[in-house]
Amino acid sequence: MASFDFSPLFRSTVGFDELVGLLDSVKQDSAQPAYPPYNIERVSENDYRISMAVAGFKPEELNIEAKANELTVSGKHEAPTGRKYLHQGIANRSFERRFKLADHVRVTNATIEHGLLHVDLVREIPEALKPRQIEINVATSAPRQIENAAAA
């Protein structure tokens, strides 16, 4: 039986909980972490949070854009000039990360705190798509009137 790696799907989707639940039993490989590292958290039934490690980036160097079921987070970092490193282990590069969003998921807030960029999302299902109860009415005496008319 073929083995499929669904880890890219889990790393870049928000709001597809039913699909994720179906694929949860699939073994995920430990893929190379992407830069910058991030978490996708389900805060409540319809609220999500993406937390991304952006240490060293100023808020004005970051850009968040939501367009047509896709969230793009990018950072343009200017490399410091005139420094000579003996060892440079801290990444000092620009990035762009894209996340696919489910229908009716929108960005509500973005904050930066302790080197983490938090992007809050909410899934708002329109009233027309929400399940609703249908009232069952009791039939009136209209069928008897038809029977009486047929007998006459």
CATH of the domain at 130: 2.60.40.790
d(Cα 152, Cα 130) in Å, to the nearest integer?
49
Q: What is the pLDDT of residue 77?
A: 79
- Decide: 80 and 32 in contact? Cβ < 8 Å: no
Q: What is the pLDDT of residue 88?
A: 80
Q: Residue 54: which domain range? A: 7-151
- Decide: 101 and 73 in contact? Cβ < 8 Å: no
d(Cα 149, Cα 152) in Å, to the nearest integer?
5
Q: What is the pLDDT of residue 98?
A: 92
Number of domains in the chain: 1
Q: What is the pLDDT of residue 28?
A: 44
d(Cα 20, Cα 128) in Å, to the nearest integer?
25
Q: What is the pLDDT of residue 27?
A: 43
Residue 135 lies in a domain: yes
Residue 91 lies in a domain: yes
Residue 2 lies in a domain: no
In the numeric block, the tokens 């970092």 are attached to 77
- Written as six digits, the tokens of 134 are 């249908």
Q: What is the pLDDT of residue 130?
A: 78
Average pLDDT along the chain, 152 residues, taken 10 residues at a time: 63 64 46 76 93 91 92 86 82 87 91 95 85 88 59 58
d(Cα 1, Cα 109) in Å, to the nearest integer?
43
d(Cα 137, Cα 62) in Å, to the nearest integer?
57
